[in-house]
Amino acid sequence: MTNVVVVGSQWGDEGKGKIVDWLSEKADIVVRFQGGHNAGHTLVIEGTEYKLSLLPSGIVRPGKTSVIGNGVVIDPTALVAEMDTLISQGVTISHDNLMISYSTPVILPVHSMVDNAREALRGEGKIGTTGRGIGPAYEDKVARRGIRMADLLDREALREKVGAIADHHNVWLDAAGVDRVNADDMVDSLMAHRERLEPFLGDVWASLHQARRSGSKVLFEGAQGIMLDIDHGTYPFVTSSNTVPGQAAAGSGVGPGSVGFVLGITKAYTTRVGSGPFPTEEAGPEGEKMGVRGHEFGTVTGRKRRCGWFDAVMVRQAGRIAGIDGMALTKLDVLDGFDTLKICTGYRLDGHEVDRFPAASADQARVEPVYEEIEGWDEKTEGARSWADLPPKAIKYIKRLEELTGIPVATVSTSPERDDTILVRDPFEG
């Protein structure tokens, strides 16, 4: 048996939550290793919908340990609210099944203020952030002035650190014409959640080391997608953390040898939230049909997602960057009933064909997709649970995606329900 890391192979929103939940049946521990409450997962289990932003998807599985690693950034108010919502839905959350790293950075109210003010000043050139303060919190972490969860345990030391952060950001807020923040108010806000969160804090790296020695199976859960990676994505229209599988090790405190099978969650078409290049975007009725049938609205923001055809160039590139071993193809059922499907097999840039997403943002904005067309299917794939249940033309489409991306399909998801999943290759078996 091997550990498994789950990443998105596109721009996020690929359906990672359901796949992580489905895989967690075989895992002992589920670890979230990057991002914040700007990312969201929606799980549908026996008709009940669970919305997660910070908590690992394994939290809804009894008997599993969920871990929030040091690579995540936490807004304590948002985390407590999410916990309370799940508890009201009957989910058990205690120090027996949830651990949060002492080293996890904290998102302060000033971070979201800075985030929103910056976006407003960018005007038409805005990045499309969620305004939750993710980027500014990571900036403070890298600048070595950030607050960590462990700092909540010492109010006096916390007040000094928060005061320094307030002084730093107030200079910019003054220049931007935005109201200043008060350090004491932010400390009071953090202290309001200290008693609730303290029992969950621990040395995640030590617990994972012991789990590895005991032979426990670990499922590492990423947020967003490879093409939103701060280094490898469509910069600057990216998130503020590394979304690649290597971050699973760095963001939880384990060695790279602990990261085993890399499963790339891949939507059967392409979507994107916010600004940035999108070569295969379909602004007409076919894109609208994908959006309506796929319920393409952000779990966190409710923003409508941009929809388009499958981009095999982008997924192939993501697969090579991330070392993806297998593809979990999701939302195949959304394509039921399309007469013709398009697949992007290359790009055209200034009259020349290119086989990869350019690094320069100006070039990314100008690339044009080169399509091949494939016949759609009239039969229903929704709810299929075996390869034999799929229409021959749907299988042909899947096989073509494998050929073009160079990534073999490991699972196929045919609805939001947990059990509507076809297993081709078990990631935990390597």
Phi/psi region, residue 276 (left: phi>0; alpha: psi -120 to 50; beta: rest), is left
* Separation CA 227–CA 260 (nearest Å): 21
DSSP-derived secondary structure letter, 337: T
| Burial classification of residue 339, based on how many CB atoms lie within 10 Å of its CB (0-12 exposed, 13-18 middle, 19 or more buried) | exposed
Helix residue ranges, H only, 223-368:
246-250, 285-293, 312-322, 361-366
* Separation CA 224–CA 72 (nearest Å): 12
Sign of the C-alpha dihedral computed for residues 317, 318, 323 and 325 taken in this order: negative
Q: At what angle do helices 183-197 and 155-176 cross, to 10 degrees?
A: 130
DSSP 280-305: TB--SHHHHHHHHHTT-B-TTT-PBP
Beta-ladder partners of 371? 344
Our answer to whether residue 13 is catalytic in this structure is: yes
Strand 218-221 versus strand 4-8 pairing type: parallel
Contact indicator for 420, 413 with CB cutoff of 8 Å: yes
- Compute φ and ψ for 154, nearest 5 degrees: -135, 95
Q: Find tokens 């080169």 and name the residue.
A: 370
The two tokens of residue 267 are 């939507």
First-residue to last-residue Cα distance in the chain:
7
| Residue 68 identity (one-letter amino acid) | I
* Separation CA 332–CA 159 (nearest Å): 51
Active-site position among 41, 111, 169, 232: 41
Sign of the C-alpha dihedral computed for residues 57, 60, 61 and 63 taken in this order: positive
Our answer to whether residue 193 is catalytic in this structure is: no
Q: Which residues are catalytic?
A: 13, 41
